[in-house]
Amino acid sequence: MNILLVGGGGREHTLAWKINKSSLCDKLFIAPGNAGTPQFGTNVPIAVTDFEAQAAFCLANNVAMVIVGPEEPLVKGIYDYFKNRTDTAHIEVIGPSKEAAQLEGSKAFAKAFMQRHHIPTAAYKEFDSTSYEEGIAYIRNHPLPIVLKADGLAAGKGVLICNNHIEALAEFQLMIQQSKFGEAGKRVVIEQFLDGIELSVFVLTDGINFVVLPEAKDYKKIGVGDTGPNTGGMGAVSPVPFADAAYMKTVTEKIIRPTIEGLQKEALDYKGFVFIGLINVKGEPFVIEYNCRLGDPETEVIIPRIENDLIAVLSATAQQRLNEIEIITSKQSAVTVMAVSGGYPNDHETGKVINGLDDTRLDNTMIFHAGTRLNGDQVVTSGGRVLAVTSFGNNLVEAAEQSNYMLEQIHFDGMYFREDIGFEFR
């Protein structure tokens, strides 16, 4: 079949790499793609939210499946657009409906969903401009630290952990009254702080059945030792040592199964990935957030560990046959380390020439482009997160060492990466 992959980051480059291995894929198109994706398919200059152009392209190129990478087109209704048109309704779309995508698109919707279906999560309240004064009083009486979350999509930067009340009050005022996160922060969820180790769990559901994919742990802080501001993710590891069979059984019974059953009970059309951000608090899992797609950079460690033909699995998802699928996971460990632009996650320059991409290639190591573009015959930076280097190893430390070594062979002006990712598991 011909396939359209929507997106242009490290997640999509990884998916393109995996899809290219499938015997079921005839032609792969990536819209818009990046400087690395032409290794595995054809880049198409269509924006991720230009549904009309995507549909026209699919019809002109006999595309049978659309795989949606980023959250924005899902939250804006790409699934509904294709399914509600008679000429594109036959095309399989991997992703939830617009209504179901509110699990990621609205923190308040997700928290209320968890309450309705008795899914463990932190206690919370939500506020907007009409309840601003009530929010001020709530913060003043809230135990520290205080977690503030922009309700909508904020490119991974809408979550703030405040260690004193003055900071929390100032941030709340910036979000509600000065639109710090734009429309995303018009409503703010204020949440109890949970202290523990975070874990990313990935599920694929056809709306009735589900399979659990390899888990991962990502690293949000810019600095070594988890210091500094949050980013979109500086790297990831898989498997996660504490997520053994017993723990994952608890996660399945207390969180995954009630989530999928909740989607069914509320008649939310969902055929795609569910990312569940968890925190392990003294052995008990709590949900921090839902995403309605694969995470980035977690995709770069979990997809390489899946040994199944991905298109066979996604076809079963679209056709509600996931009960026939067993996920086969590599026994090896994988570690992804991100190379980012100098100054990220704050102001940073782009257009920097990347050297060394082809100088050294190691077995069991892959370079995925996250924020790159072609400038003539040169690959240059086009974003904050630029490259994701993923390596396999017999353990996490071995894989981490190889990823770091590979990154030492690559250079662009201002390049930075965290050298400690994965090493706490030595």
Average pLDDT by consecutive 10-residue portion of the chain (426 residues)? 98 98 98 97 98 98 98 97 98 98 93 96 91 92 91 77 93 89 85 92 98 97 93 96 95 98 97 97 94 96 98 98 98 98 95 89 92 96 97 97 96 97 92
Q: Residue 19 has which token pair?
A: 């899809």
Q: How many helices (H) and strands (E) does the chain have?
A: 13, 22
Q: Residue 359 has which token pair?
A: 């100088």
Task: Count the Cβ atoms, other than its own, within 10 Å of residue 139.
Answer: 22
229: enclosing H helix or E strand: strand 227-230
* Cβ atoms of residues 342 and 350 within 8 Å: no
Helical axes 10-19 vs 310-318, angle rounded to 10°: 100
- In degrees and rounded to multiples of 5, residue 279 shows phi and psi of -130, 130
CA distance 403 to 394: 13
Q: Residue 252 has which token pair?
A: 């399945």
* Cβ atoms of residues 142 and 190 within 8 Å: yes
- CB-based burial label for 260 (10 Å; 0-12, 13-18, 19+): buried
CA distance 151 to 328: 36
The pairing of beta strand 146-150 with beta strand 188-192: antiparallel
Identify the pLDDT of residue 33.
97
- Residue 402 backbone class (left: φ over 0; alpha: ψ -120 to 50; beta: rest): alpha
Helical axes 132-140 vs 165-177, angle rounded to 10°: 170
The beta strands (E) that lie in 132-196 are given as: 146-150, 159-162, 188-192
CA distance 342 to 349: 7
What pTM does this model have? 0.93
Q: 55 in helix, strand or coil?
A: helix
- CB-based burial label for 416 (10 Å; 0-12, 13-18, 19+): middle
3-state DSSP helix/strand/coil % of the chain, to nearest 5: 30, 30, 40
Q: Residue 286 has which token pair?
A: 């709590």
Going by C-alpha positions, the residue among 46, 113, 91 that lies closest to residue 292 is 113
